[in-house]
Amino acid sequence: MPNIASYCLTDRLRTGKLRVVHAPNTNKVQETPASAPDSRQAWLRLALALLIASIGSVGLWTVVVVLPVVQTEFSASRGAVSLAFTLTMLGFGLGGVVVGRMTDRFGIVVAMGASIAVLGCAYVLAALSGTLWQFIAVHFLIGLGTSANFAPLMAEVSHWFERYRGLAVTIVASGNYVAGAAWPPLTTWGVESAGWRATYVAIGVFCAVTMVLLLLVLRAQIGHAAVRDHAGAAPPRLDLNLSTNALTALLSIASIACCVAMAMPQVHIVAYCGDLGYGVARGAEMLSLMMALGIVSRIGSGFLADKIGGIRTLLIGSVAQGFALLFYLFFDSLTSLYLISGMFGLFQGGIVPSYAIIVREAMPAREAATRVGLVIFASVIGMSFGGWISGVIFDATGSYAAAFANGLAWNALNMAIVVALLLRARASLAVA
């Protein structure tokens, strides 16, 4: 008579993640080389996830390109039209939590499928907007549809790797920056050739079709289980002697702090160059340089995290970002601004993915997507607040010097939290 363990493990076999090796007098479950962490299949899944993220992150960039033409069409102020970006970021942040929870409960395939449907429909609805407020409101849905391509996807990828987990997480997180490099020029070409409405429809259809096809391939790779099974996941390797909620709160505060600092150059470098008389085109070039070197930074931080852990990697990135901000206070020549902006991009790109790595190192795998979503939502709040408060400080002082100093203060708060976590980790190791 077959051992009852054979029936209990049937669902694992169905998922494609494990294959049952049932030997006499043993109930052991063995992973095949294809399904094991860091396997060739895991790297193939990672490549598919990067493609999906690079396409699906379109929602963070198109609205920036179409702002001027939409403003002209609706005879609106720049501030009013810019609310579309605000709603996009709000949807992106909240969506990371909602879709993350969905991923933990039903799996990445279901979560991504729902997000793709929302993203495709939202672009078509935006193109059909008859009023500015309809256009702005629909961008909340665009942000919601985009959200699955960052925090939930980072958390999912982390389950496929152990030895190279940090590298894998940062590679898929780079899809955000790849989208930032590819989509704006494509959107500009579409707007100039066919208008922004036709371009939005084309983007929605293209994303829906290509992402569904890629998702079907990914589904074939990870199996057909409706609910993700974390029972076989290794326990957290890092003990900080903190509850999951307390650690999530600390990481969220740290995320807000570092992103308030990060927002100062990213949001205001173009305007800053204009104020200095160098022209906005030079500022745009500096922003592009930041994004390009941010990809290098993200992947490099993944290598580093696999060697020294997520907390130390985050601390290095935070300290380096602080140094770059400090240089902005003392140098403002055109050449120095190019150099500092490049340095800033090279330093800050790996900071946000480090939070996802820490979550996987210190929290249960079954909650990973939800917890990463919460911390990434905090980073969105930090970026939004940082961009706004820097403008307020400039209006009050007539200079960006105080705004850079404000960024340094928030960066110091981030460093203090990370140092405290590192000390707790060392204390736990010492006790063990």
For residue 228, pLDDT beyond 70: no
Q: Is there a contact between 326 and 408 (Cβ–Cβ < 8 Å)?
A: yes
Centroid of chain to Cα 227: 23
**Separation in Å, CA 230 to CA 4, 17, 104, 147, 317:** 21, 11, 9, 22, 31
- Within-domain flag for 237: no
- Rounded to whole angstroms, how far apart are CA atoms 389 and 403? 8
Within 10 Å of residue 78's Cβ, how many Cβ atoms? 9
Average pLDDT over residues 397-419: 93
Mean pLDDT for 317-328 is 94
d(CA 259, CA 267): 11
**Residue 432: inside a domain:** no
* Residue-number span of the structural domain to which 66 is assigned: 40-222
How many Å is the Cα radius of gyration of the chain? Answer: 22
Phi/psi at 279 (5° precision) = 95, 150
User: Across all residues in the chain, what is the average pLDDT?
Assistant: 84
Q: Is 121 inside any structural domain?
A: yes
Give residues with Cβ within 8 angstroms of 149, minimum separation 6: 52, 53, 56, 57, 115, 175, 176
Are 50 and 30 in the same domain?
Answer: no
Residues 312 and 408 in one domain: yes
DSSP 7: H
Percent residues over pLDDT 90 in the chain: 38
Q: How far apart are CA 12 and CA 10, in angstroms?
A: 5
Say whether both 304 and 398 belong to one domain: yes
Residue 194 counted as domain residue: yes
DSSP letters spanning 66-99: HHHHHHHHHT--HHHHHHHHHHHHHHHHHHHHHH
339: exposed, middle or buried (C-beta count within 10 Å: 0-12, 13-18, 19+)? middle
* Same-domain status, 253 and 309: yes
- 272 and 134 together in one domain: no
Instruction: Give residue-wise pLDDT tens across range 230-240.
Output: 545 566 677 78
190 with 205, same domain: the answer is: yes
DSSP class of residue 174 equals: T
- pLDDT by residue (tens digit) across 262-303? 988 887 887 788 889 998 778 878 887 888 888 888 889 888
Q: How far apart are CA 304 and CA 285, in angstroms?
A: 28
Q: What is the DSSP string of 133-170?
A: HHHHHHHHHHHHHHGGGTHHHHHHHHTT-STTHHHHHH
Q: Would 369 be classed as within a structural domain? A: yes
pLDDT for 212 equals 95
Contact 359, 232 (CB under 8 A): no
Q: In this structure, is residue 232 part of a structural domain?
A: no
Residue 41's CB is within 10 A of a number of other CB atoms, namely 18
Note whether 364 and 286 are same-domain residues. Answer: yes
Q: How far apart (Å, rounded) are the C-alpha atoms in residues 138 and 88?
A: 9
**pLDDT given for residue 234 in this prediction:** 62
Among the candidates 187, 222, 257, a domain finishes at 222
The pTM of this model reads 0.76
Whether 231 maps to a domain, the answer reads: no
Q: Which of 76-80, 179-183, 294-298, 373-377: highest mean pLDDT?
A: 373-377
Are 289 and 175 in the same domain?
Answer: no
Q: Is residue 229 part of a domain?
A: no
pLDDT at 430 exceeding the cut of 70? no
Q: Is 181 exposed, middle or buried (0-12, 13-18, 19+ CB in 10 A)?
A: middle
Between 34 and 398, the higher pLDDT residue: 398
Query: E strand or H helix at 361, and its extent?
Result: helix 351-362
Measured distance CA(259)–CA(353) in Å, rounded: 12
Give phi and psi for 344, each to the nearest 5: -60, -45
Return the CATH number at 174.
1.20.1250.20
Q: How many domains does the chain have?
A: 3
**Domain identity same for 149 and 86:** yes
- 75 plus 7 within the same structural domain: no
Both 10 and 54 in a single domain?
A: no
More confident residue, 32 or 333: 333
Q: Are residues 317 and 287 in the same domain?
A: yes
Q: Is the dihedral of CA 149, 150, 152, 153 positive or negative?
A: positive
Residue 20 is predicted with a pLDDT of 37
Rounded distance between C-alpha atoms, residue 214 and residue 363, angstroms: 30
CA pair distance 396, 78, nearest whole angstrom? 20
Both tokens of 391, joined, read 């403008």
CA-nearest of 315, 311, 343, 281 to 411 is 315
